[in-house]
């Protein structure tokens, strides 16, 4: 009798172990599902918090966008004004519509550049002016003493410019030069140190 009792208890124990093992499988699946859902919820909340703390400015539009450069005495060297500025996907460049760049000598405007489109980097002050709708980038000096037009004009450091695409440069009553590309300096005193390249042609005014 004791041996039979031991056998019965042994079988009961084994069956109980099997039952627990069988029940643990769906319980484990349910636990893993709940755990995964909770982790996903936590990750979504963390992402939303990060987005609120560091919102992206991509696509942000600013009317009457302005960018300028000043000297050591806080006098404006040049100022860019656009009818509209939209933040580019890289969050560094601004895409511009109806752009005007003016170079100052004290309070007076000495050079003005107008363009239908453009791009500007707020950190480096790099500006790219772009033609559109058959309207080129146009530059006019004080009193019309100097002017030029091109498809693209890039304004880079140290008052330098690079122009490309059907460049036409004129010095009133002095000369007219055309070419594919041009580079030089541009500031309140006008354009200088100009180099024109590619299919160049020049006309000198003889008085």
pLDDT tens digits along 159-187: 899 999 999 999 988 899 999 999 999 98
pLDDT digits (tens, 9 = 90+) for 10-68: 655 566 555 555 555 555 554 544 554 565 456 545 544 544 555 555 568 889 999 99
Cα–Cα distance for residue pair 119/207, rounded to 1 Å: 41
Question: Which residues, listed in sequence order, are joined to residue 104 by a DSSP beta bridge?
Answer: 109
If one counts every other C-beta atom within 10 angstroms of the C-beta of residue 131, the result is 19
Tokens standing for 146?
């100097």
Residue with tokens 């000096």: 141
pLDDT score, position 53: 54
pLDDT digits (tens, 9 = 90+) for 63-73: 999 999 998 88
Cα–Cα distance for residue pair 148/176, rounded to 1 Å: 9
Quickly state the pLDDT bin for 6 (edges 50, 70, 90). very low
Domain ranges of the chain: 1-55, 61-204
Question: Under CATH, domain 61-204 is a member of which superfamily?
Answer: Lipopolysaccharide (LPS) transport protein A like domain (2.60.450.10)
């Amino acid at each position: 009798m004791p041996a039979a009792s031991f056998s019965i208890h042994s079988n009961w124990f084994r069956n109980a172990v099997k039952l627990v093992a069988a029940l643990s499988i769906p319980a484990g699946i349910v636990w893993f599902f709940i755990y995964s859902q909770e982790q996903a919820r936590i990750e979504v909340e963390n992402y939303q918090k990060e987005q609120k703390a560091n919102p992206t400015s991509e696509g942000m539009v600013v009317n009457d966008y302005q960018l300028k450069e000043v000297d050591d005495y806080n006098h404006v060297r040049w100022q860019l004004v656009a009818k509209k500025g939209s933040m580019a996907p890289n969050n560094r460049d601004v895409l511009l519509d109806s752009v005007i760049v003016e170079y100052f000598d004290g309070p007076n405007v000495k050079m003005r550049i107008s363009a239908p489109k453009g791009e500007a980097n707020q950190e480096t002050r790099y500006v790219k002016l772009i033609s559109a709708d058959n309207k080129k980038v146009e530059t006019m000096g004080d009193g019309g003493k100097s002017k030029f037009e091109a498809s693209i004009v890039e304004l880079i450091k140290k008052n330098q410019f690079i122009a490309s695409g059907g460049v036409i440069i004129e010095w009133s009553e002095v000369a007219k030069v055309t070419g594919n590309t041009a580079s030089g300096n541009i500031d309140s005193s006008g354009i200088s140190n100009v180099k024109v390249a590619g299919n160049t042609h020049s006309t000198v005014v003889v008085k």
